[in-house]
Structure 1
Amino acid sequence: MSLSLIIPNSPIFSPKKVPSIFCKSDGSSFSSSPRTNGSQQPPSSPLSLSLSSPKSSLPISSTPQSPSSPLKSPLSIRVPKKQLLFGTDVAPVKRKRPGRIEIPTSMAVQLGFAAETPRGEEEVQVEEEGYSVYCKRGRRGKMEDRYSAAVNLNGDPKQAFFGVYDGHGNSKAAEFVAKNLDKKVMEEVSKTGEDAIDGAIRDAYLFTDMDFLKEDVGGGTCCVTAMIRKGDLFVSNAGDCRAVLSRNGVAEALTNDHHPSREDERDRIEALGGYVDCCHGVWRIQSSLAVSRAIGDKHLKQWVIAEPETKMLKIKPECEFLILASDGLWNKVTNQEAVDLVRPFCVGLDKPKPFSACKKLAELSSWRGSFDDISVMVVQLQHFLF
């Protein structure tokens, strides 16, 4: 490789005799070397700097430049094109294209996001008879959402338990609850009569919370669960995971989010000696947590309770499907929008496609700018009609 600095108008060098690779010679062709193939060498000069390496021809651009393009500097540096610094006027370095990520083009333009993670950590896909689940990792760190599903309970195909859990702080609480809450609910329900099932579910939540706190690992999780039993649907929640029913295409929220901004929740917290304030537009307990109920959160347990709110209803023919999802969905998609998107995949088809609906919902929320984990479960209620 040869590197030379040429000073215009030098009495020693003549530009006509030493053509540059950046200029056309005779208006028609480039010279690939600053020296001829003959044995004659140009005289040395203190103004000429030459660095030598094994002889090789210098690469040049395959696309001729305009003969009218002026040099930007009186100094011409002969180096291979790939060694030129990015941002020069002559030959910018080509950036290596990043790996492809399967997201909508419009989303990439709007959000400018191009992260790449192992697929196993990025999403969860489940498609089973009667329900489907899709979980998509957000852009804040590791996936902290979890889900649970138990069908054919006690050998009865019309009994089932489903849950979506949105962890915060870490995924430990969500993992613990996903493994244990359904069993605890079934255990408590078996001890009581049909008229006290909501109380049994409440006890199961509280016992699960107590068991997790004994683990002493920190973190917490919001929960939304649905138990189907003898044609009845019991929906419970603690936190801001939400359950939405489609009743002949009309969205019906079956849960109320537990936020510190709720008047009854704020009154409860303040009565216990806590306080609620707004931090950067978000209402929080003790300037910390943005939900007022959850399993875990030992450091805030005095105010953040695990007691759920439960609603029971009969599954009727007009009850089409149930959507259980974390706030990663609901922060960007309204209840009715979710029902409108899912319905064409689940109603009026010989072969419903609830999994496709779950994935479409998650993609919509992500496209609208959600940075949180997004977990969506669709339960086809007609499958459990008693």
Structure 2
Amino acid sequence: MSCSVAVSNSPVFSPPPSRFCNKTSMISPPPETLSLAHLKQQPSQQSSSSPNSAPPSPFRLQIPKSLSTLSASVAGPSSPVTQLKRKRPAKLCIPIVSTGFGAAPAMPCAAARRELVEEDREGYYSVYCKKGRREAMEDRYSATLNLQGDPKQAFFGVFDGHGGAKAAEFAAQNLGKNILDEVVRRDDYGNFKESVKHGYMNTDSDFLKEDSSGGSCCVTALIRNGTLVVSNAGDCRAVMSRGGAAEALTYDHRPSRDDERTRIENLGGYVDMCHGTWRIQGCLAVSRGIGDGHLKKYVTAEPESQVLRLKPEHEFVILASDGLWDKVSNQEAVDILRPSCLSIDRQQPLLACKKLVDLSVSRGSHDDVSVMVVQLGSYI
């Protein structure tokens, strides 16, 4: 979504449409003509045939029949054609949309173009988002504490939109609720994977009914009864600090993965290299996510999940978009965040998130970058 093609870091690649000119559509019926000198005459002069009248000008002003008819109908049948009337343009309405950042209320769409978003809940989580080179930020996040009134239960998510922010915003507003609904409905407190899977699939199905374009990668963390359930669809990633050692809890879903490529080809699709990146059908650079209706046959919303019983050595978990992980390694991220997360100063984790984002940008990231750190000690 010969011609030149601009290369972007976005997972979606759409070459610009060709421009054609239909010459036949530019041909209009022969217009009536009216001399410029005739227009300059006064009404009294036009009604009299004076022998001293100026000769017709060789330069003639062409007025289409439709416009001359309109003017005549406005001025009356007996009045000369002196000016053309035109209607006042329709009123311009600017829609009001929700930004989708956390639980922010609806506000003008200009707010979605802000470059920085930050939030900090001391002892629980911190998040920092920075817009890349796109016109509007496509990353979103969600954080819900005290699930069902229990301070030991929470849901967190980071969502990286592509082809617009609609899918990311929809997921941020609905995915956590859909997962919790499935957990409660199934009364499934031993094996959360099926509940999370159906929460993702239901959110994807609901979004496709909106008939909106674009898609979103997702990474989420559900904490319930001392259990951590981390899931992802796409290339957002979760990394945990286990006593200072970085441990990846998710694996990026990209067409370059052997198992993902095989899955796509078995469904009749293809994966090829396009502008230095492996893409599905020469278009999309991620193989799972919410949305992407035009490629839904190959791009599933089914997540991969990992379930852990929380222990004291589980210090914190990082949820971040690929804007970070493309430039910063897992261990680097843990090393930068760990001193802040273990600090007595509760403001330090937010500053460390900002430091990670700035590091990614300094290394050449042009993408939106979102980093969330969740303190696991509060839920053990």
TM-score by structure 1 length?
A: 0.68
Deviation sequence 1:295-336 (CA, Å, 0-9, x none): 000000000000000000011111111000000000000000
Distance change in 2, residues 1:173/1:246 (3 Å) = same
Equivalent position amino acid for 1:121 in 2: R
Match of 2:294 in 1: 299
Match of 2:376 in 1: 381
Structure 1 stretches of 4+ moved >2 Å: 117-120, 348-352
**Cα offset, 1:259, TM superposition:** 0.4
| CA deviations over 1:136-158 (Å, ceiling 9, x no partner) | 00012210000000001111100
RMSD (Å) for aligned C-alpha atoms: 1.4
Indicate whether 1:125 and 2:109 are aligned.
Answer: no
Bigger CA radius of gyration: 1
Gaps of 5+ in 1: 1-116
Q: Going by fraction, where is helix more abundant, 1 or 2?
A: 2
Using the TM superposition, give the Cα deviation of residue 357 of structure 1 relative to its aligned residue in structure 2, in angstroms: 1.1
Cα shift at 1:351:
3.5
CA contact (8 A) 2:113 2:136 kept: no
Once residues 351 and 190 of structure 1 are traced to their aligned partners in structure 2, the CA distance between those partners, rounded to angstroms, is: 33
Task: Tell which deviates more after alignment, 133-142 or 286-295.
Answer: 133-142
In 2, Cα distance between the equivalents of 1:147 and 1:276?
30
For the residue of structure 2 that corresponds to 1:260, the secondary structure is coil
How far does residue 280 in structure 1 lie from its aligned partner after superposition?
1.9
**Shift in CA distance, 124/299, structure 1 to aligned 2, threshold 3 Å:** same
Contact 2:159 2:236 in 1 (8 A): yes
Contact 1:242 1:325 in 2 (8 A): yes
For 1:222-371, what aligned pairs fall within 5 Å after superposition?
222-349=217-344, 351=346, 353-371=348-366
Equivalent runs, 1:1-386 vs 2, <5 Å: 121-129=114-122, 130-192=124-186, 193-349=188-344, 351=346, 353-385=348-380
Deviation at 1:225, TM superposition (A): 0.1
Within 1, Cα distance between the matches of 2:295 and 2:275?
20
CA distance 1:342–1:272, change in 2 (3 Å): same
In the alignment of these two chains, the number of paired residues is: 269
Aligned CA distance change for structure 1 residues 119 and 366 (closer, same or farther; 3 Å): farther
Amino acid at match of 2:233: A
> Equivalents in 2 of 1:210, 1:165: separation in Å?
17
- The residue type equivalent to 1:347 in the other structure is L
Q: TM-score when scaled to structure 2?
A: 0.69
C-alpha separation between the residues in 2 aligned to 1:310 and 1:365?
Answer: 27
Q: Which runs of 5+ in 2 are unaligned?
A: 1-109
Q: Given the superposition, is the C-alpha separation of residues 141 and 247 from structure 1 closer, same or farther in structure 2, using an over 3 Å criterion? A: same
1:257 counterpart letter in structure 2: D
State the identity as a percent: 63
